[in-house]
Homo-oligomer: A and B are copies of this chain.
């Protein structure tokens, strides 16, 4: 009697990106080619725990192909962290039970550092419970802070969007600066690692070009030094364009965005390091300012996706399935850089136990000595990641994205599972 062909389980995890669905597309299209059915977790790992699975085999080939150009997470993502095997033992056991009930032999988890840690633990639990399960992580994070991979899918597209936006704003600011606005501050994501803020520096190919100053979380904020730099810039160029990472900190390690201000509802007003920096300049130097906070716009800006990023996202998903079929287990797929210019890269993998809980920050030699901009070494690294345009289809002036049917797989287990709060 032949063994029944195993199914695959795929889930998206954490903050979504403009290209996480391209990885989903890579996983599903490749699995289909090899006759493997893919079940997706509705809202990520929560779907596995609650046995709320989506049958992707009910979707047309066209809709699955459209995932490649659709932002967000098509099956829903979640912020639900599985902790240690001891603390969350019931959760890990439940996962294996659900996988067993649905004949799942492959687990593809698409996420950042925490998710790679989770999948590693699931792999351990499958061994403990003697349930054969191939566990493969597919990297994803706009923060670009996963180790062992040249880049993290999602980052290149945010980088391209932010660099494009600050270049465009630079042309605006230049035109207005004689009689009006002299300062522009743009806040970007990145709580611990400054990769996104750093990428804005690609827009500035000459000293007079926007952005003039980049404030990174890796460099403690020095108010006096910063204000001197701003004033010098305004004197020289007539204006000053600044990109600030949301995670900018004082030398005491406090977030700058906590301005100690109480709003009309009696709440501490946390948000917005951009307005905080803008007002600091106004207060000390008197210049008129504008500020922007890109927030979710930056990570969902599929219209400005990097072709390199989209291709890598797809290929990392595809490779996860191919490695699984070759019997690889407990790995995360990775990008290996072969050369900077022209950018050449291949797909490889790394053992999951090496990835867990390692955070890749900006090396000091990627930051100029004064701490306010990026170096040539940094440009060489970053530039290829934003290369190429990959424009989604447009209709009536707007990008067209796909919404899947997301039909449920019939439940097989009797017990319901209660999520920890």
State the A residues within 8 Å of B (CB). 12, 15-16, 18, 43-44, 46, 70-80, 160, 163-165, 167-176, 178-180, 184, 186, 202-203, 259-265, 267, 269, 271-272, 274-276, 278-280, 282-283, 290-297, 299-304, 306, 383, 386-389, 391, 394, 396-399, 401
Contacts and interface: CB of A to CB of B under 8 A. Distances in A.
A73 B46 CA distance: 51
Nearest to A291: B295
B263 A261 contact: yes
A46 B383 contact: no
A143 to B, nearest CB: 15
Contact of A173 (B163, B265, B296): B296
B296 A292 contact: yes
Nearest to A288: B79
A401 B389 CA distance: 17
10 contacts: A43-B178, A46-B178, A71-B171, A79-B180, A164-B399, A168-B401, A171-B300, A261-B263, A263-B276, A264-B276
Contacts of A175: 12, 16, 72-77
Given A77-B175, A78-B180, A398 B167 contact: yes
B293 A265 contact: no
Total identical chains: 2
Contacts of A290: 295-296
A172 B157 CA distance: 15
Contacts of A163: 397-398
A164 B16 CA distance: 17
A142 to B, nearest CB: 11
A50 B164 CA distance: 34
Nearest to A382: B397
A72 B171 contact: yes
A261 B55 CA distance: 51
A179 B43 contact: yes
Contacts of A394: 389
Which label, helix, strand, loop or mixed, suits the secondary structure of the A interface?
mixed
A21 B388 CA distance: 26
A189 to B, nearest CB: 10
A168 B301 contact: yes
Given A259-B263, A262-B261, A15 B176 contact: yes
Contacts of A202: 396-398
A185 B259 CA distance: 21
Contact of A168 (B74, B293, B302, B389): B302
Given A264-B259, A297-B186, A176 B391 contact: no
Contact of A283 (B184, B262, B265, B397): B265
B46 A300 contact: no
A294 B165 CA distance: 10
Nearest to A261: B263
A375 to B, nearest CB: 17
Given A46-B179, A70-B171, A387-B396, 7 more contacts: A16-B175, A73-B175, A274-B293, A292-B293, A292-B296, A293-B293, A388-B397
A303 B71 CA distance: 18
